[in-house]
Amino acid sequence: MASLTMYPDDERLAGGERIAFNLYIVTAVALFVLMMLLGLTMRMTQAKWLTVQSPLFYQLLSMHGAGMVGTMALVTTAVMWFFLRKYVQLHLWAFVANYVLFMLGALCIIASIFVGRYGALWTFLYPLPVRGFGLWTSNTSALFMVGYLLIGVGSLLFYLDAAAGIIKVHGNLGRALGLQWLFGGKIDPDHPKAVVASTQVIISNSLGILAGAVVLVMSLVNIFFPTVVLNALLAKNLIYWFGHQYINATIYMGVIAVYELLPRYTGKPYPISRPFLWSWAASTLFVIVVYPHHLLMDFAQPRWLAVIGQMVSWGAGFPVFLVTVFGALTNLHRSGIRWTMPSRLLILSMFGWAAGIVPAILDGTIRNNLVMHNTQWVPGHFHFYLLLGVLAMAMALMYHVIGSRVSAPPNSSADKLGFPLYLAGGLIFTYAFLDAGRLSVPRRMAEHLDSWTFTDKVGSIGAILVVLAMLYFAIRISAGLLKQPSAGAAGVSTADAAG
């Protein structure tokens, strides 16, 4: 069971670990701000407050999509590493190798977009990358894909090292997930939730990376030997199988922060339970098989795949609502919590995840998908749980760590202002997308009709608030991390659990 000690000794960041962790976080918050500015530029272009030519718009969209997904993976990897290293042996070289490969991959992607003008978006749907109509060349797309491969290898190295550590302690991944306790037996109360969640991520994301490695190399083969023509539907299946698991893994890595930190801030134990193990076993299966909901409008797919896509999308709500979010709220209930930044962000993240799933499930329903697919409903729901859910989880850990430098959980007046700014901006921004989805505004489109610009304008205003808040958070967090630990605060293990 995660301890209620606010800053336990085995979480101290010493030497190389501290440098690596800071590198991850400072890089990530800087990238978030930059990518958000790109997003704001797009939103204001749609609102006709800015003029950006279509080719550039789609370059920005490619950058924002790939950049945000990648950065989210980077930062949640840091969350997983931060907690998992307490329970199993992780090698710093793997954590650092992931960072280095990520940065190399990012360089390839940035070069391909801003030098080579790549504009086939983060999903590189075959055969668009080789049909750039002179705007970008096939070699440009190849560079983009090589960037992905580098990032994928980095993730794989990190996951394999984590798998080695977990297997060494728990024997195999099945036992690490706690499958042996599903139907009975006394659950080891010290079995770490961080291990359960990490194991799920290792399983599903390794499969995703395998699929990505296959389809990326096949796309590269097609680029260099155009006579080898791929099956577009097969490529699409593999791309979404990879993409879905990759982005979803960020939630499952990020939520470790909630399991670990929330009980420290509420001061109430948050024990592991059988429903918890069931929910993770189920969601491991779900995240692997749910991807057909991205292909509901591909009528050529076998019907049973579409049925799986819908039913599993619905089913995916169960573990989230009944276990993770319900458990977090139970933990919070009458805990006597004193609100500080980490605890606010943790609870916000639970809300963002739970509420964001509702429009996702609705869109995962075939009947609704017939009118909602590829409208701005889609960015509406995923920004909801990425911006208000996952990013909040990651920032909760960041704020928690900077708290250890100053001996009290961070809660400055600027923080008290930044948080509602972020929340209000985020809600305005995401609901504007959802409303645009209701109004049938297509996603991924540079040129909006005049009748669509109302939601674009509202969304832009929300986005401005989010960018301002994030800019503040980024500076605050970077400055806090780079500060030397204050002498008295290093490893304060006596801090009042209730904050």
Partner 1 sequence: MILQNIVWTIALVGMGLIALGFIYVISQAGRTVDEAASIESARTSGVLRKWLFAALLVIFVAGSWATLRRFPIPPQNRALDAGQVVDVVASQWFWQVTPPSVRSGSTVEFRVTSTDVNHGLAIYSPEGHILIQTQAMPGYTNKLLYTFDQPGVYTLQCLEFCGVGHGPMKTTLRVVAAIAE
Partner 2 sequence: MTRLQTVVRWAGPILWLTLALPPVRHALESTLTLQMLVQIPLLALVGWWLRPFLPDRAVKVLNAWNRGGISGLLLASFAAMIWMLPRTMDSALNVPWVELAKFTSVPVLLGLPLAVSWPRAGFVVRGVFLVEATATAFRLGWLYLVSPQRLCSNYLLGDQQLAGNALLAIGAAMSLLLAWKLMWGHVDVDGSHRRSHA
* Interface residue list for ligand HEM (CB under 6 A): 36, 39-40, 42-43, 61, 64-65, 68-69, 72, 121-122, 376, 379, 383, 386-387, 391, 443-444, 463, 466-467
Which of ligand HEM, partner 1, partner 2, none binds 217 (CB below 5-8 Å, type-dependent)? partner 2
Task: Tell me how far, at minimum, the Cβ of 356 lies from partner 1, in Å.
Answer: 8
Which of partner 1, partner 2, ligand HEM, none binds 332 (CB below 5-8 Å, type-dependent)? partner 1
Task: Tell me how far, at minimum, the Cβ of 166 lies from partner 2, in Å.
Answer: 9
Strand partners, 442: 375
Q: Does 101 bind partner 2 (CB under 8 A)?
A: no
d(CA 88, CA 102): 24
String of DSSP letters for 39-105: HHHHHHHHTTSS---HHHHHHHHHHHHHHHHHHHHHHHHHHHHHHHTTTS---HHHHHHHHHHHHHH
Task: Tell me how far, at minimum, the Cβ of 161 lies from partner 2, in Å.
Answer: 5
- Among 278, 320, 285, smallest CA distance to 181 is for 278
Residue 29 vs 69, nearer CB to ligand HEM = 69
Residue in this structure with the two tokens 């805990």, named with its chain if needed: 335
Task: Tell me how far, at minimum, the Cβ of 134 lies from ligand HEM, in Å.
Answer: 21
Task: Tell me how far, at minimum, the Cβ of 256 lies from partner 2, in Å.
Answer: 20
Please list every residue from 198 through 227 that binds partner 2, using CB under 8 A.
Answer: 203, 206-207, 209-210, 213-214, 217-218, 221, 227
Structural tokens at position 314: 């619905």
Q: Does 157 bind partner 2 (CB under 8 A)?
A: yes
Residue 100 vs 471, nearer CB to ligand HEM = 471
Exposure class string for 188-199: b at 16+ Cβ within 10 A, else e: eeebbbbbbbbb
Instruction: Give the number of residues in contact with partner 2, rule: CB under 8 A.
Output: 30
Residue 87 vs 385, nearer CB to ligand HEM = 385
CB 441 within 8 A of CB 452: yes
Q: Which amino acid is at 145?
A: M
Which of ligand HEM, partner 2, partner 1, none binds 467 (CB below 5-8 Å, type-dependent)? ligand HEM
Q: Using CB atoms within 10 A of its CB, is residue 392 exposed (0-12), middle (13-18) or buried (19+)?
A: buried
* Dihedral (Cα; 75, 79, 85, 91), 10-degree rounding: 0
Which of partner 1, ligand HEM, partner 2, none binds 133 (CB below 5-8 Å, type-dependent)? partner 1
Residue in this structure with the two tokens 């306790």, named with its chain if needed: 181
- Among 219, 201, 200, smallest CA distance to 155 is for 201
d(CA 300, CA 496): 60
d(CA 466, CA 471): 8
Measure the CA angle with vertex 405, ends 401 and 408; round to 5°: 85
Task: Tell me how far, at minimum, the Cβ of 261 lies from partner 1, in Å.
Answer: 15
Residue 63 vs 290, nearer CB to ligand HEM = 63
| 7 three-state secondary structure | coil
Which of ligand HEM, partner 1, partner 2, none binds 19 (CB below 5-8 Å, type-dependent)? none
Quick note: the x/- pattern for partner 2 over 164-203, rule CB under 8 A, is x--xx--xxxx----------------------------x
Residue 49 vs 93, nearer CB to partner 2 = 93
Task: Tell me how far, at minimum, the Cβ of 83 lies from partner 2, in Å.
Answer: 20
Quick note: the x/- pattern for partner 2 over 44-83, rule CB under 8 A, is ----------------------------------------
Q: Does 229 bind partner 2 (CB under 8 A)?
A: yes
CB 279 within 8 A of CB 323: yes
Phi-psi category of 89—alpha, beta or left, where left has phi over 0 and alpha has psi -120 to 50? beta
CB 140 within 8 A of CB 118: yes
Residue 220 vs 445, nearer CB to partner 1 = 445
Which of ligand HEM, partner 2, partner 1, none binds 131 (CB below 5-8 Å, type-dependent)? partner 1
User: CB count, 10 Å around CB of 451?
Assistant: 8
The gap from C-alpha 496 to its chain's centroid, in whole angstroms, comes to 31
Which of partner 1, partner 2, ligand HEM, none binds 40 (CB below 5-8 Å, type-dependent)? ligand HEM
Structural tokens at position 358: 């509702």
Structural tokens at position 459: 């969304």
d(CA 211, CA 239): 7
Residue 235 vs 386, nearer CB to partner 2 = 235
Residue 177 vs 295, nearer CB to ligand HEM = 295
Which of ligand HEM, partner 1, partner 2, none binds 236 (CB below 5-8 Å, type-dependent)? partner 1
> What is the contact surface with partner 2 in residues (CB under 8 A)?
94, 153, 156-157, 160-161, 163-164, 167-168, 171-174, 203, 206-207, 209-210, 213-214, 217-218, 221, 227-231, 234
